[in-house]
């Protein structure tokens, strides 16, 4: 079957070139097992648009072969001697990611930002989820437009709420408008949010990344020296599978992972006190042990989290003495200690 795979790959053109991916020399090891084909891509460039095109064209070609059930791409990015630049006046950049949507990553981002701010740190929050910007609603800045910096018309002023400086595409487009952009535009917005916003002096800039390992993640890693990645997962295997991919992505980009947070860890009935592990339990901690990275704690399912997010008053503000708010504060303390000891 390997010969048939190579034959099909020889028909796949490398984006922007007249040669096939075989002739360009980007195909590494090819293995097959029970109809699943694994192909190693030896990338010579880390252009996210090229990678995205190959992630579609290669599987589409190989799946034409009889007996192929699925195709996995193992992407090896080129090594760079130069480190990405450190943004001026920002001490730590933390990137929160999940690998998949629906695990509460943005909820974790806003509550970590608030917890760090309560500890006396200067905090910024960058919403890098261009297609689904939820930060404006969660932080209670829905409908508040951004403005240009009167001292420098080339810069954008972040919106300040709860003492946190915030930037989001959601503050720049109509509320219900869909963002229908290709990769290059996404990349440009991320660059602008990093470099053309008047952040001032910050101890922490938390970047709320979209699900997956795509354009926004690559652009962030190329444009700024990320101090640490935070992986958010639920305990269930489906979420943990994608958390593993997010971890692998950070490792390949040489971004240290400061920890894993298990969100929706359990539910305690407010009436009878019975505890239910709705999405299983302990998967996040087991993943942290397996990868030898810090476990930042468990965040239970609590109606106050949902209410706070919907009303623009995160639980760390609306119910600071609650179990969940204290869990976010403990996670923030663990992050601080990890960074201090790095």
Residues that constitute the known binding site for ATP: 99-106
For residue 276, is it left (φ>0), alpha (ψ between -120 and 50) or beta? Answer: beta
List Cα–Cα distances, 198 to 151, 155, 195, 265, in angstroms.
Answer: 10, 6, 8, 37
- For 166-187, give the DSSP string: EEEGGGTS-TT------HHHHH
List Cα–Cα distances, 297 to 12, 27, 188, 335, in angstroms.
Answer: 45, 40, 35, 11
For residue 35, is it left (φ>0), alpha (ψ between -120 and 50) or beta? Answer: left
Contact 8, 65 (CB under 8 A): yes
How far apart CA 92 and CA 89 sit, in angstroms, is 9
How far apart CA 46 and CA 76 sit, in angstroms, is 9
How far apart CA 298 and CA 276 sit, in angstroms, is 14
List Cα–Cα distances, 232 to 20, 175, 257, 306, in angstroms.
Answer: 38, 26, 11, 17
Question: 90: helix, coil or strand?
Answer: strand
- Measured over the CA atoms of residue 159, residue 164, residue 165 and residue 169, the dihedral's sign is negative
CA angle (61, 29, 55) in 5-degree steps: 40
In the DSSP assignment, the letter for residue 278 is B
**Could you tell me where the DSSP H helices lie in 63-139?**
105-118, 135-138
Return binding residues.
99-106
């Amino acid at each position: 079957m390997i010969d048939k795979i190579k034959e099909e790959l020889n028909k796949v053109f490398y984006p922007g070139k007249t040669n096939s991916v075989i002739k360009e020399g980007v195909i590494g090891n090819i293995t097959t097992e029970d109809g699943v084909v694994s192909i190693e891509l030896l990338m010579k460039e880390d252009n996210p648009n090229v990678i995205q095109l190959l992630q579609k064209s290669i599987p589409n070609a190989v799946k034409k072969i009889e007996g192929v059930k699925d195709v996995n791409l193992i992407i090896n990015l080129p090594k760079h001697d130069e480190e990405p630049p450190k943004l001026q006046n920002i001490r730590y950049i933390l990137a929160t990611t999940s690998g998949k949507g629906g695990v509460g990553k943005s909820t974790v981002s806003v509550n970590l930002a608030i917890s760090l701010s309560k500890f006396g740190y200067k905090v910024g929050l960058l919403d890098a989820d261009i297609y689904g910007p939820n930060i404006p609603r969660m932080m209670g800045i829905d409908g508040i437009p951004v403005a240009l910096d009167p001292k420098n018309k080339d810069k954008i002023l972040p919106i300040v709420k709860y003492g946190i400086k915030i930037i989001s595409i959601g503050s720049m487009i109509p509320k219900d408008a869909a963002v229908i952009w290709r990769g290059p535009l996404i990349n440009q917005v991320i660059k602008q949010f990093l470099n053309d916003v008047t952040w001032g002096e910050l101890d922490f800039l938390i970047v709320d990344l979209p699900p997956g390992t795509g354009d926004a993640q690559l652009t962030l890693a190329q444009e700024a020296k990320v101090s640490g990645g935070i992986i958010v997962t639920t305990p269930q295997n489906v979420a943990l599978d994608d958390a593993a991919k997010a971890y692998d992505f950070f490792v390949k980009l040489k971004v240290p992972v400061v920890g894993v947070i298990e969100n929706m860890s359990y539910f305690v009935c407010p009436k009878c006190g019975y505890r239910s592990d709705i999405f299983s339990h302990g998967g996040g901690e087991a993943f942290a042990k397996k990868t030898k990275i810090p476990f930042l704690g468990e965040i239970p399912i609590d109606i106050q989290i949902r209410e706070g997010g919907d009303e623009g008053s995160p639980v760390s503000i609306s119910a600071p003495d609650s179990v969940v708010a204290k869990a976010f504060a403990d996670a923030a303390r663990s992050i601080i200690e990890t960074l201090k000891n790095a």
